[in-house]
Structure 1
Amino acid sequence: MALTKLACDNAKPQDKDYKLFDSGGLFLLITKTGSKLWKLKYRHLGKEKKLAFGPYPIVSLSDARDKRDEAKKLLADDLDPSVIRQEIKKEKIQENANTFEAIALEWFENNKPSWKPDHAKNILARLEKDVFPIIGKYPIKTLTHKMLLDMANAVKERGANELAKRIIQMCKHIFQYAIITGRAEKNIAEDLKGLIKVKPKGHFAAIETREIPEFIQDLRNHRAKLNRQTYLAVNFMMLTFVRTNEMIKAEWSEFDFKEKQWIIPAQRMKMNKDHIVPLSKQVIAILEELREIHNHPKYVFPSRTQRNSHMSNNTVLMAIKRMGYKGRMTGHGFRALAMSTIMEKLGYRHEVPDAQLAHSKRGDVAKAYDRAKFLDERTKMMQEWADYLDDIAKNRIVIAGDFSKRKKA
């Protein structure tokens, strides 16, 4: 006879455990302590087994019958319900262990050997600062579109629009890794494409050629106000027009004073190739003075506060701001200034200063980068550029030289 709710409710504990049977092997075990537990007795491969469904009344009579029927369906397919339950439990435990942070760190370590050290450092810093505190603890399968969107918007709120977009792109790669390794089924970060809006990227602020005399004069007027190394760094950047990151991390071991060359190693270059910077007499003079100032064993521009580190990437920018050029000039602006002035005033064709700038353009990825390309012309150009700036400093006017012979060459 099938059980009723009333019979389940009225069942009282006795001296020994006893069972109230329903149908299809389902029964309610009444323990002598008063507990009421649903069980299913079944046979699989000739062996009698039991499967627990939970306590009554948390699991109702109707729920217990549904669970029995589900188990019977598995048995009909020659599957053991107990084994299936263990596998599901194991899978859930594994899913809970597969947090976004755990998978992201695994993805990071897997890709780290193929990244430049600085890039790897930046990736980990972004994860630790902006991602892990928000979604890191959650199993990756439980994350939602809104959780990712809220995380990105939190970054945007502090004005870091481009960073917010990059973080979502990074999450997209992490989700793809999780899918490939069998721990996620859908890349929800991919669905957010286009939802993280960024402001149009503008050009770096740069003065024009006609403003060079004023800038040089302002720089010299601030000589006493700026730290000597900072003053020399601004001059060095103007003369070499390298990227800020390339300059501040320069090491003495990279300079060949006999050949008058600075060879920037591949890991600090955008194109991931060594780059030669010919050294003018003026640059060599700056380097000699820097050696006398600090005699640092490693860095050409060492940090003033941390002995084993290099100058901050904001040092030059802050110096330019102190000169009154906020919004008008940046460290990167020296590159645009040199490019336009060298072509316009020194008469060099575009390819020569462009090679010295080590520009990487779309479509050039497959082309072999020759660090010595136009090197003879670049060497001559760098000295002429330094002399040109010296002449401006002395005359305080933009020099318009006669370079017709070079143009015809």
Structure 2
Amino acid sequence: MGKPKGKGAGGGSDGGLRVAGGVQKKSQKKGPNTGVSGLEFHKSKGQHILRNPLVVQAIVDKAGVKSTDVVLEIGPGTGNLTVKLLEKAKKVIAVELDPRMVLELQRRVQGTPYANNLQIIHGDFMRVELPYFDLCVANIPYNISSPLTFKLLAHRPAFRAAVIMYQHEFAMRLVAKAGDNLYSRLAVNTQLLARVSHLLKVGKNNFRPPPKVDSSVVRIEPRHPPPPVNFLEWDGLVRLCFSRKNKTLGAIFKQTNTLQALETNWRTYQALQGNAGAAAPPAAAAGGIASLGAAAADDDAMEDDAMDGDDDNDDAMTVDGGAGGGGGGGRGGRRAGGKVSPEFKELVMKVLEDNGLDTNRSSKMSQEEFLQLLALFNAAGIHFA
């Protein structure tokens, strides 16, 4: 007698497993957000696992991992990238928040020749204290891209390079140059501290679950040593200049609220130092660098800058002045009753006009020009923090 159609060994007519009380159907597919280990990936936690082995290998190759390197990986997930890094590096330090992924990572390397070369730090990357590392290679949660980048750049001792997967648009903003549409405070702050280059674009279908956007791999090489600037002052200046990046500096610095905030700082420094040309007090480098991580959020709030015309009407926008020398680019009207002394307004415009900077626009200014602008203002006793 022939074998009944559709039956496996000991199975039911539908190919399922026969159990007490009937036939248990086999599940032929995994959930949409599960991987080979059956783990569910949470989009809300930024868990998009890079599954294409060719892309994983390309990232490792472009990172230039040496056999003597200690490599930091952020958010290793199920370990697709981790395993490849372990094959090349002396040691991999993986920072992972999800305990399920920690267990999966431990299971995956158990019994391998490099199991002892993996150190797992279970915790939130933004809260943990980072140990020494030579290289950072990571597919990161995109929702912390900016603060994560500046935490890395603030780390001491400085590392050789970071090769990081970002959301494509964020990556393009990181590498944008003066004159590009995406040139912003984020680009200026990052490129002050590091050389940044785009390496590879990665389509959304290379991930499980697929994100809504494409991704890009960027290489970041910290400058050794970092530029000798007060980073809080620097950020105050750049924040103000990019409050309307297509307006001239002359128009930006004529705004009443801007002048009020700067004059408050000016008089404070005069009182504290006894003369208008006193230098700003030093700021801790790591804290100052880490504070630049708010740049991306502020840039998002000012995306319409790219749509601005070149109208230099002083009343078009006023900056919400404050102790930071310009605040975050608020759009309210002038504060009632606010006054700026003629001598201070003349001092500010003299700095700009005497150095031919009053007609410059932030969207086209280089790092060197921003550094020059800060030095000139500070020399005149004008401070931004």
TM above 0.5, one fold? no
Structure with higher strand content? 2
- Structure (1 or 2) with the greater helix fraction: 1
Q: Which one has the largest radius of gyration?
A: 1
What's the TM-score, normalizing by structure 2? 0.26
Calculate the TM-score normalised by the size of structure 1. Answer: 0.25
Higher relative contact order (CA 8 A, sep 6+): 2
